[in-house]
Amino acid sequence: MSMPFYVSPEQYMKDRADYARKGIARGRSVVVLSYAGGILFATHNPSRALHKISEIYDRIAFAAVGKYHEFEALRVAGIRYADMRGYSYDRSDVTVRALANSYAQTLGSVFSAETKPLEVELVVAEIGVDPATDQLYRLSFDGGLGEEHGYVVIGGDAETRARTLAASWSASLDLPGALRLALATLETNEGFGTPTPIPADQLEAAILDRAAPRRAFRRLAPTEIEGMR
């Protein structure tokens, strides 16, 4: 008679967490940072069709790393959530904090109850009247939710790239300065010395523009990126 295979709950959850982390670490990093005129999102993404950075609502945007089909489903769910809330109540009732809590519940439920955890890490951000009132939330695969201040890096080598970003970040940066800092962060090669340049047509970049009257999200074209390098 064979003995039943037993895994402790602690080991079971650790194995699931390790599985998710390995999948996320294979993805290219995304940098999100506040600057004087708004919030910048940037990532190395050779694909021009599959976006890792997207608009959610008027002044809210989304960035993700990991399995594309998994975070794309979350992006669509976030848009539906925001549209429904704005339609049922008022556009001002759509907040990034409520959206982040909704995502945290979804990620936590999948991590604890489904066969496989989602291999994703998310940032959702809402622009304020100045950098001090910008809201940035980082969500992990297990539903962990953290509020970030000023900047955040997710994906592969996030800790190393965050140190590069922290050394030079300032809320008073203009857009060209913020873009150059994001590029320097993304081009960092830990242990390899010389940074690896990212061509302008392989950089996916977008902003939430503080001066926009309502819809603040705007993608940066390669020609615009090249002019600010």
Residue 205 within any structural domain of the chain: yes
Residue 229 within any structural domain of the chain: no
What is the per-residue pLDDT for 3?
54
* Pair type for strands 120-126 and 60-66: antiparallel
What is the per-residue pLDDT for 189?
67
Supply the CATH number for residue 118's domain. Answer: 3.60.20.10
Residue 225 and residue 229: Cα distance in Å, rounded?
6
Q: Nearest CA to 27 among 142, 123, 155, 138?
A: 155
What string of pLDDT tens digits covers the 229 residues of the chain? 455 666 788 888 888 899 999 989 888 999 999 999 999 999 999 998 899 999 999 999 999 999 999 999 999 999 999 999 999 999 989 999 999 999 999 999 999 988 899 999 999 999 999 999 999 999 999 999 999 999 999 998 888 899 889 999 999 999 999 999 999 999 886 545 567 789 999 999 999 999 999 899 999 999 999 999 8
Task: Tally the domains of the chain.
Answer: 1
Residue 228 within any structural domain of the chain: no
Residue 3 within any structural domain of the chain: no
Residue 4 within any structural domain of the chain: no
Range of the structural domain that residue 110 is part of: 9-223
Beta bridge partners of 64: 122
Residue 166 within any structural domain of the chain: yes
Question: Please, are residues 175 and 187 in contact by the beta-carbon 8 Å criterion?
Answer: no
Residue 217 and residue 17: Cα distance in Å, rounded?
33
**Tokens in use for 168?**
């030079």
Residue 140 within any structural domain of the chain: yes
